[in-house]
Structure 1
Amino acid sequence: MIPPARRLIALCFLGAALTACGTARQEHPASSPASPATGSPAPSRAPVLAPGPGGLTPVFEHGPRTRGKTVAFTFDADMTADQGPRAASGERFDNPGLIRALRELKVPATVFMTGSWAEQYPAEARDLGRDPRFEVANHSWSHYAFTADCYGLPTVDAGRMRADVERAYASLRAAGVPHPMPYFRFPGGCYDQRALRALSGLGVTAVQWDVVSGDAFATDADAVARQVLDGVRPGSVVVLHCTRSAAPTTEQVVRTVVPELRGRGYRFVKVSELIGETGTGR
């Protein structure tokens, strides 16, 4: 979850190394030989970016700017490992109304789901995972940060990063998600070279964004909608949240923004479509 007072900016200090990652594409292999089947991305032909220099996990921020007005809405299903008692006491980390709105508006989307969220809401995870309108991807198991000083999140040790991602894939499958995608979003969007190296060989593409919605902890839906509408460009990836207690305006934002963007000529796609187009022009 991204605190409201700060806008998350992707860490770009890797410079040319990460830029190189965004210019090549490969198909995800049937399985990851480095990890057990339950802890690997889905056996599929989903497009992924080629590894960066030295085999670093590649990072994707947006699709091509010159191939039509496409935009991908992504939703983080956040639940940090130590928030179980809060969920048990009635706090809602899901948002059925938002999912209903996406279906009513016929908006495809990519949901980055933590393993702990899938374990808390297995029926909803299974429902999303089996609906062809959505694709479910990995947001870690614990929602602990993969770097220090990441918006107050607890941190996961470097030696446990890979295992945390693998555990999330296992939790998604256990909840009934048949084909979790080979995409990973760092908790808080925080990563560095050590984190990218820790996940090397898993076959995942790290997915960031170029439009911060500002929906986390927001109470003014109109302000969030304006921020999205002002930021979207062809090929954009928008980060939103489907955690009702901490992002209560998101359903209304979606109902406002979707018809406006369609009126501007935009077509909504999943992240996989944007990644599939990457490498043929930016």
Structure 2
Amino acid sequence: MPLAYLTPVLYRCLKPIFPQCLWSGSRDEKVVALTFDDGPHPQYTSELLKVLDKYQVPATFFWLGVCVERSPKVALEVYHQKHQIGLHGYEHRSFINMTRHQLHQSLTKNRDVISQICGHDGAQLTDVRPPNGLFTPQTLDWLQGWNYRPVMWSVVPVDWTRPGVNTVADRVLQQVQNGSVIVLHDGYSGGQDVAATVEQLIPLIRDRGYRFVTIDYLWQQLVRLNLEC
């Protein structure tokens, strides 16, 4: 079975097992979060920013430190447009293949690079998405022990395989619902199509009555719900 059809099943199975991760927001509010992994890229991220600015849509970018170093001007542009920034590791290396010390070093370097180039307060860079969505219970314990917030996904259209803009958009629209966390890529794999995909998706999602928010908004939303319980 193609991966694009398996990811919704994985989401439904894993979310209740690992509730400490942010998989999606509340089902009570018509909001969705656009997130982008593996950037910034000197061309693809710049093209994407123009689309986001055109529609005044906030997004969350999970960055690789090495890519921030390669494209500092683009990183600054993302920061100045007030999009949320999260961590994806210094390099695109699976967290499950790292020791505790290696993972801590990778995230610290990831955060420090962003802070130095963007002038961002490193203490506010707390959201972490594991590359390829791979983690273990031990990984989550480490992240939470270091006061990071693990962020996953609910809609993964597998855009990095480049099945075509229309296919990616259709996959997203088939799965999107209140609180969805949509994962797209603006890096070297899949980023070629990201601006065109988002240009197509934003009006269609808005036509369904959804509002775009950041990952931080979804965390706050869940905190409010927990306080009400």
Q: TM-score, normalised by structure 2?
A: 0.86
Identical-pair percentage: 26
1:244-263 alignment, distance < 5 Å: 246-263=190-207
Equivalence map 1:87-236=2 (5 Å): 94-132=44-82, 134-147=83-96, 155-179=97-121, 180-236=124-180
Alpha-carbon separation, structure 2, partners of 1:113 and 1:262 = 26
Contact 1:71–1:266 under 8 Å retained in 2: yes
* CA-CA distance at 1:12 after TM superposition: 5.7
Instruction: State the AA in 2 paired with 1:129.
Output: Y
User: Which sections of structure 1, spanning at least 5 residues, go unmatched?
Assistant: 22-58, 80-90, 148-154
Structure 1 residue aligned with 2:33: 72
1:104 Cα deviation after fit: 0.8
Deviation at 1:196, TM superposition (A): 1.4
2:38 counterpart of 1:62? no
Q: 1:244 to 1:107 in 2, by over 3 A?
A: farther
Shift of 1:127: 1.7
Task: Please state whether the residue corresponding to 1:62 is helix, strand or coil.
Answer: coil
The answer (yes or no) to whether the contact 2:38–2:92 under 8 Å persists in 1 is no
Deviation at 1:97, TM superposition (A): 0.9
The DSSP-based 3-state class of the residue aligned with 2:177 is coil
CA distance in 2 between partners of 1:245 and 1:184 (Å): 20
Q: 1:251 Cα shift?
A: 1.2
Give the superposition deviation at 1:200: 3.2
Alpha carbons of structure 1 residues 215 and 243: separation in structure 2 relative to 1, 3 Å = same
Following the alignment from structure 1 to structure 2, what is the Cα–Cα distance between the partners of residues 217 and 256? 18
Superposition TM-score, scaled by structure 1 size: 0.71
The structure richer in helix per residue is 2
Q: Does structure 2 conserve the Cα–Cα contact (< 8 Å) formed by 1:11 and 1:190? A: no
Does the CA-based 8 Å contact 2:44-2:195 persist in structure 1?
Answer: no
Mapped contact 1:70–1:236 kept (Cα < 8 A): yes
Aligned-partner SS, 1:199: helix
Query: Does structure 1 retain, via aligned residues, the 8 Å contact 2:30–2:209?
Result: yes
What is the distance in 2 between the residues matched to 1:138 and 1:256? 27
CA drift of 1:111 comes to 0.5
Please identify the structure whose Cα radius of gyration is greater.
1
